[in-house]
Amino acid sequence: MFDFNIALQSLIGLTVFLTLLFFFLLGYTYWTRRKQQYWKRYEQKFRDYFFSILLDYAEQSGPPLSADDIIKKITKRTKDYTFFINLLNELDDILDGTERKRLNDLIKHPTFASFYRDKLFQSSTDSKIYACIYFQKSTHLDNRVLAKLITVSKSNNLKLAFAATKALQSAEDWSIRKSALLRFFKRTDISELMVAELLHVFDSGLAEERGQVGEALKDVLLKKIDPNVKNIIVRYMGYQQFYECGEFLYQYLKRIHYNPEKFPLIRGLITALGELYHTEADAVIKSYWKKKKSIPIRLASIKTLSTFGGEENISFLLQHLLNAEFPIRKAIIYELVTEEENRIVLLTKFIQETLRSLTDIDIRSRSHEQFDLYLDKILDITSGIKIALNHRLNKSHA
Amino acid sequence: MKSMDSYLKLTGVAHNSTDKSMGGSESTMPKKQILIVDDDDLSRKLISRLVSKEFDYEITSKANGIEALEYARKHIPQLIILDLMLPGMDGFEILKKVREDQKFNQTKVVLVSAKSRSEDIEHGFDLTADEYITKPFQPKEFTARIRKLLTKAA
Amino acid sequence: MLDSFSLFNIVEQFIIGYFITINTVYLALVIGALLYVRKQMLHRSVVEADALFKTELFKSISILVPAYNEADNIVESVESLLKLEYPEYHIIVVNDGSADDTLQRIIDHFGLTETDIYFEEQIEHQHIRGIYRSPNTPMLTVVDKENGGKADALNAGINIAETDLVCSIDADSILEQDVLKKLIQTFIEHKNTIAAGGVVRVINGCQIRNREIKEIHVPKSFWGRLQSVEYIRAFLFGRVGWDYFKSLLIVSGAFGIFDRKAVIKVGGYLTDTVGEDIELIVRLHSYHLRNNEDYQIRFLPEPICWTEVPTDYKSLRNQRNRWHRGLADSLWQHKYMLFNPTYKHIGMFVMPFFLFFELLGPIVNLLSYVYLIIIISFPDLFSLTFILLFLGVSIIYGMVVSLIAVLAEEVAFKTYSSFKDVAILSLYSLLENIGYRQIHSWWQFKGLIDFFKGKKSWGKMIRKGFKE
């Protein structure tokens, strides 16, 4: 049985602890809120003060201050640097042109670079992450920083590796950027959204780098990485219109080793080829249609064949209208009805033919149920057409 | 605490001029007004600074859409610089309300937004915005466009 | 005599052991959650993903708003939903056969006209009477259907939606403007996320001016304040704790975001249960574990949604009764998962914990009080030792856990606007353990009984609305 003394002691102990906890909570709340208020006011003043100085500097109005002069005004508190960089980054989001360039040069000032380099070499994950975020904005990475970033980008901590890989994208050396990208894509724990984000950071959007980016992406596609990651890369190439990669993607689709794991990639390739208007691909796409019955792949094929256009492709789609599953039927109808007018003509012709064939059907040779099913399908298709036509009309009115 | 005090002293002038109206008491000849509506502190300050440097108008800034509209109805500003994403009521809605109201037939409206999607710009002009400026912007271009509008109005 | 004596012994040891276990688990959840939240908040900027939104490869979202007799709130709700920060999202309001003029008000306000959508009924729901849209607000679709309950309305919305993700909310939830941008971070951070929830908070007492939450205060009413403590302890740190162990079993019905295809794959919401939100999550776990598919169900420890809690005794009682019936039903429907190694940690640990501590907890709770009364009223059985121990491990220990939860909230979020609010909350976290918990157990116990009697109705809640 329980011992009375122990019971009493534990009760008293707990109560004392509770009381202490209670007062600690009140004290903690009071103190931290005061502190927070102080820092908030401090930050506000700090921002107000540097706001005018920075803008004068950016616009080159006011007293001619050099970057060094401004940075000398910052006290040596750690928080000041963070506040300053935050303010710069925020202004950077609003301003454009020469003003933005001047502010950017401030961000890259050696004082900050060395401040964040120290942070990068600290052991705490938080410091490393802050440093990575800083270096993502900076362009001049020295060798020590680069080497450390590469090590960090191999970290088991996914977020840290992600941050470091993004930071490495501001390296000048192209091969470092590319291998960082590839290293990250080889991981198994990354989400598809991370891939998309990283691709956008990798691709600077500069016209002179475009060829290089396309080549690099092709190269990555040939490596052994998760097909879902490849799917995102392919989609990116498609909607960013890497026309020069069209032939490559076409050959890729032709040769792809077919298994269900690669369904998303096949779908992505078909979509991308449509966006790149690589019309040669139509035969391969149609052969996929015949071979396999994956709905997502067929949906992508419909979109792409419709983009390619041409009577052959359109009648191919029409052929499959009657015997397709609902989502496919819907997609075909929308592609036929909401695009150019001659497709509607084709569609009407098709309906007329179907109706004519109805009269030819020997009712006795089919069971009632079969016939009902057939009629239901036609009914469903016509109502689909009606709705799609309505949408077309509404759109042209709006 | 020391360094904070030094910032306090240093910021005396620059700080006071931002969110408050600039000079000109209302009872005597009311100055022409510009209303800036943006929920981001820094954008509000920045625009306010750009505009106040160039034009001799009374400048007021608001962060909440509903408050902004209330203020505008009372003071009928010459120009409203409107952000699209706002708490309370978004820029499009304010613009629509302003255009429906006869009182505002002299008021010019500029939409400012981080959105650069063409349908947003189109929608803005459909609602008869006088100008559409996307963030980020170049300060010189920004003031030039505002100046064009204000001279047209005068 | 000796036999009965040892029986009492066993009972007492069981009761004490039970309370020590449950409170210790909660304490561990709260402390673990606090550490996790701190880390999470510091590293948030890594997954903020500005670049992603410049591509077309982010996920599109439909917000599903089931509305039943919401005429007073609906226009205001939709207006604020139209202002969320996200590059591409849709709003689908499903009028669930309201008896009032919910539908008409929304049609009039947005100038909607009837239209048709060509869609397939992939999951079953009641008949749709009409679909309304307007070219002026292309993001908004209103579906008018025959009454079938919240789950049924959500199913209709899931069918109509064409986006990657669907987000289910209550018509009276108030969302943070950047909720979608925040929640997508969960999908960025964790591969194969199929469902995610976030922190739901009590809006009673907050100051709303011009559609903006200006100041956050604790509610004025007694019941509201008790629930504020409860929301912090159980719904915030409790869930973050479970999330940490990848064992999240509940995503609040007031706000949840799901992969649309995954929900369709498991058949949508179950319409004849009162716990459709829990049941769906359990079914998603069950399906993916059974088929050995990779998946994650996560909780984002950030305040994203505000909800009005009942402030009168009766509504609160009915709500808790209903929640408990919902939990009972969800566990009952999926009882095959219990101690079944196919379902890994969910079957072996999480489900049993919910069964013994959450579902049957109230029975043990009440029985221990009965036992307490017995030994007090019979001088022969009187044992001061047990009473003191019981007081310690059930009430004082419970207070410690609640207080630490309030402290954790202050350390991590500092949500409340003033010191006074925190002081009130800490007082109520003590109060919560004397009286409220016991009554709560009673409500839950009644809920359990009602469940066995087969009662599935929702019970009414008197809404006050947020009109200023």
pLDDT at C120: 80
- Strands, E, within C204-295: which ranges? 207-209, 212-215, 255-259
A207 CB near a chain B CB, below 8 Å?
Answer: no
CATH, residue B95: 3.40.50.2300
**Is there a contact between A51 and B14 if contact means CB atoms under 8 Å apart?**
yes
Domains defined for chain C, CATH in brackets: 28-59+164-351 (3.90.550)
Per-residue pLDDT of chain C (468 residues; tens, 9 = 90+): 445 667 788 888 899 999 999 999 999 999 989 988 888 887 777 877 777 888 888 899 999 999 999 998 899 889 889 888 888 899 999 999 999 999 999 999 999 998 888 888 888 899 999 999 988 788 999 999 999 999 999 999 999 999 999 999 988 788 888 899 888 989 999 989 999 998 888 888 888 887 778 889 999 999 999 999 998 888 788 888 888 888 899 888 888 999 999 999 999 999 888 889 999 999 999 999 999 999 999 998 887 788 889 999 999 999 999 999 999 999 999 999 999 999 999 999 999 999 999 999 999 999 999 999 998 998 888 888 889 999 999 999 999 999 999 999 999 888 898 999 999 999 999 999 998 999 999 999 999 999 988 765 554 444 444 333
Give chains near C: 3+ CB pairs under 8 A. A, B
- pLDDT band per the 50, 70, 90 thresholds, residue B151: confident
- pLDDT band per the 50, 70, 90 thresholds, residue B30: low
B43 CB neighbours in chain A (<8 A) are 94
Domain count along chain B: 1
C-alpha span between C51 and C63 (Å, rounded): 23
Three-class DSSP category at C202 = strand
B37 CB neighbours in chain C (<8 A) are none
pLDDT at A397: 53
Task: Work out how many CB contacts closer than 8 A connect B with C.
Answer: 23
Is pLDDT of B13 > 60?
A: no
Is pLDDT of B28 > 60?
A: no
For residue B91, the chain C residue with the least C-alpha distance is: C83
- CB C222 within 8 Å of CB C310: no
Best interface-test mutation with B: which of C50, C79, C83, C139 has the largest number of B CBs within 10 A? C83
**Is there a contact between B46 and A55 if contact means CB atoms under 8 Å apart?**
yes
- Taking the CA of residue A49 and the nearest CA in chain B, the distance in Å comes to 5
Give me the residue label for tokens 């909401």: A338
Give chains near A: 3+ CB pairs under 8 A. B, C
- CB B50 within 8 Å of CB B137: no
- pLDDT band per the 50, 70, 90 thresholds, residue B23: very low
Best interface-test mutation with A: which of B20, B42, B119, B141 has the largest number of A CBs within 10 A? B42
- pLDDT band per the 50, 70, 90 thresholds, residue B116: low
- Taking the CA of residue A8 and the nearest CA in chain C, the distance in Å comes to 6
Give the H or E element holding residue A392: helix A368-397
- Give long-range contacts, CB 8 A cutoff, 24+ apart: C96-99: C96/C66, C96/C67, C96/C68, C96/C145, C96/C147, C96/C148, C96/C149, C96/C150, C96/C152, C96/C153, C97/C68, C97/C126, C97/C145, C97/C146, C97/C147, C97/C148, C98/C67, C98/C68, C98/C69, C98/C70, C98/C71, C98/C147, C99/C69
C-alpha span between A175 and C98 (Å, rounded): 63
C-alpha span between C419 and A23 (Å, rounded): 13
Contacts of C331 by beta carbon, 8 Å cutoff, 6+ apart: C282, C351, C354, C355, C359
**Is there a contact between A93 and B135 if contact means CB atoms under 8 Å apart?**
yes
Nearest Cα to Cα of residue A164 among A198, A211, A215: A198
Nearest Cα to Cα of residue C94 among C45, C149, C26: C149
**Is there a contact between B141 and A97 if contact means CB atoms under 8 Å apart?**
yes
Does residue B122 sit within a domain? yes
Residue A226 identity = D
B7 closest CB neighbour out of A46, A87, A97: A46
Contacts of B73 by beta carbon, 8 Å cutoff, 6+ apart: B101, B103
A374 CB near a chain B CB, below 8 Å?
Answer: no
Does residue B133 sit within a domain? yes
**Is there a contact between A18 and C391 if contact means CB atoms under 8 Å apart?**
no
Q: How many CB atoms lie within 10 A of CB C372?
A: 16
β-strands C113-115, C193-202 pairing? unpaired
Does residue B11 sit within a domain? no
Per-residue pLDDT of chain A (398 residues; tens, 9 = 90+): 678 888 899 899 999 999 999 999 999 999 999 999 999 999 999 999 999 889 888 888 767 778 888 888 887 777 888 899 889 988 988 888 888 888 888 888 888 888 899 999 999 988 999 899 899 888 778 899 999 999 999 999 999 999 999 999 989 888 999 999 999 999 999 999 999 999 999 998 888 889 999 999 999 999 999 999 999 999 999 989 999 999 999 999 998 887 888 889 999 999 999 999 999 999 999 988 887 678 889 999 999 999 998 888 998 998 888 888 888 888 998 888 888 778 888 888 888 887 777 766 665 566 677 777 777 888 888 888 888 888 777 766 54
In terms of phi and psi (left: phi > 0; alpha: psi -120 to 50; beta: otherwise), the region of C141 is beta
How far CA A101 is from CA of A63, A96, A97, A204, in Å, comes to 19, 8, 6, 16
Give chains near B: 3+ CB pairs under 8 A. A, C
Q: How many CB atoms lie within 10 A of CB A360?
A: 6
A95 CB neighbours in chain B (<8 A) are 46, 136-139
B65 CB near a chain C CB, below 8 Å?
Answer: yes
Three-class DSSP category at A81 = helix
pLDDT at C456: 57
Does residue B4 sit within a domain? no
B15 CB near a chain A CB, below 8 Å?
Answer: yes
User: Residue A308's Cα: distance from chain center in Å?
Assistant: 26
pLDDT at B14: 35
pLDDT at A179: 94
Does residue B3 sit within a domain? no
A94 closest CB neighbour out of B10, B14, B43: B43
C177 closest CB neighbour out of B64, B67, B87: B87
User: Residue C414's Cα: distance from chain center in Å?
Assistant: 21
Residue A135 identity = F
User: Residue A31's Cα: distance from chain center in Å?
Assistant: 42
Best interface-test mutation with A: which of B2, B6, B11 has the largest number of A CBs within 10 A? B11
Residue B53 belongs to what domain range? 31-153
pLDDT at B20: 41
Best interface-test mutation with B: which of C78, C79, C89, C212 has the largest number of B CBs within 10 A? C212
C177 CB neighbours in chain B (<8 A) are 85, 87
Does residue B92 sit within a domain? yes
- Eight-state DSSP code of residue A256: P
Does residue B115 sit within a domain? yes
**Is there a contact between B65 and C85 if contact means CB atoms under 8 Å apart?**
no
pLDDT at B128: 82
pLDDT at C364: 93
The encoded tokens of residue C304 equal 């994203």
A100 CB neighbours in chain B (<8 A) are 136
A1 closest CB neighbour out of C9, C187, C410: C9
B3 closest CB neighbour out of A47, A75, A96: A75
User: Residue A368's Cα: distance from chain center in Å?
Assistant: 52
In terms of phi and psi (left: phi > 0; alpha: psi -120 to 50; beta: otherwise), the region of A344 is alpha
Does residue B142 sit within a domain? yes
